[in-house]
Structure 1
Amino acid sequence: MARDMATPDLTGPHWNDALRRELAAARTNGRVGSRIVSETDRVRIWLLDLAPGDRLPFHTHVNDYFWTATSDGRARSRYADGRVVEVDYTAGDTRHHSYGAGESMTHDLENTGDTILSFVTVEFLGGPNPSLL
């Protein structure tokens, strides 16, 4: 039976009521890292350090950005569309993301490995979407 793609499937072993409530409130959460270490009118630089078992709550990206892993590790992300993705990271892995007017992406990040997982994230400010911070 085909599933309505407009209605995400937020069931299964990686979802619970608390996560669904947190996701519902995350559209205005722009905290995409643990702490801001630098900010200008053009960029915002975040550090993110997650101990094993720690989780960055659901948050929404509206600005173009890139992240770079600064440690090896493993993590799980749950996305607003219902996807659950497991990823192994190697220090130096980098991904770039871009968003047009009205576009965004909401997800969480959970360290499922046995080492501290660290990233640097750089957001580019002044794009087509208002910043959430």
Structure 2
Amino acid sequence: MAQEVAPAGASLPPHLAQEFIEARTNGCVGTRLLSEDARCRVWTIVLPPGARIGFHTHVLDYFWTAVTAGRARSHYGDGRVAEVDYEAGDIQHLSFAAGESMTHDLANVGNTELIFTTVEFLDSANPPLDLPAATRAEATRRAA
């Protein structure tokens, strides 16, 4: 269940505001790209207790599923902060119309490792954001 820690309309703390601005073109929506083909990108997020994936931007339709249970906190550009308790198997589908996006971070604020799988669909209303060559190369090596 999501709990709003800071409501929409609040501002990001200064130490996060610059990172948020720089992340508008960060399409790395996981800690590791597992696979990519003409139709989709498959990511994993693995966060030990206290770890965080920095701000990243979703522009593609996608879904995520929680592989493990845990608690996480996310900051959003409108200043909203949400804390969520996840159960293994939780899933959510999100889609974005042309020109829409969502930028957020994700921190493990629980005491267990938090793992998610995220699948992005490349045939969405928005073009995919570029990925660093090293991120794509790692996924290609695994697929070979």
Runs of at least 5 residues in structure 2 that lack an aligned partner in the other structure: 1-7, 131-144
Deviation of 1:126 after TM superposition, in Å, equals: 2.2
Hey, which of these two has a bigger chunk of helix by percent?
2
Aligned-partner residue type, residue 65 of structure 1: Y
Deviation of 1:42 after TM superposition, in Å, equals: 0.5
Deviation of 1:8 after TM superposition, in Å, equals: 4.1
Q: Can you list the C-alpha shifts for 1:65-109, whole angstroms capped at 9, x where unaligned?
A: 000000000000011111100000000000000001000001000
Runs of at least 5 residues in structure 1 that lack an aligned partner in the other structure: 1-6
Alignment partners' CA distance in 2, 1:17 and 1:81: 13
Specify the SS of the correspondent of 1:26.
helix
Q: State TM-score, norm by structure 1.
A: 0.89
Residues 1:35 and 1:61: Cα distance change in structure 2 (over 3 Å): same
Q: Runs of 4 or more off by more than 3 Å in structure 1?
A: none
**Could you say what the CA RMSD is over the residues aligned between the two structures, in angstroms?**
1.3
Q: State TM-score, norm by structure 2.
A: 0.82
Matched positions, count: 123
Aligned to 2:4: none
Residues 1:29 and 1:8: Cα distance change in structure 2 (over 3 Å): farther
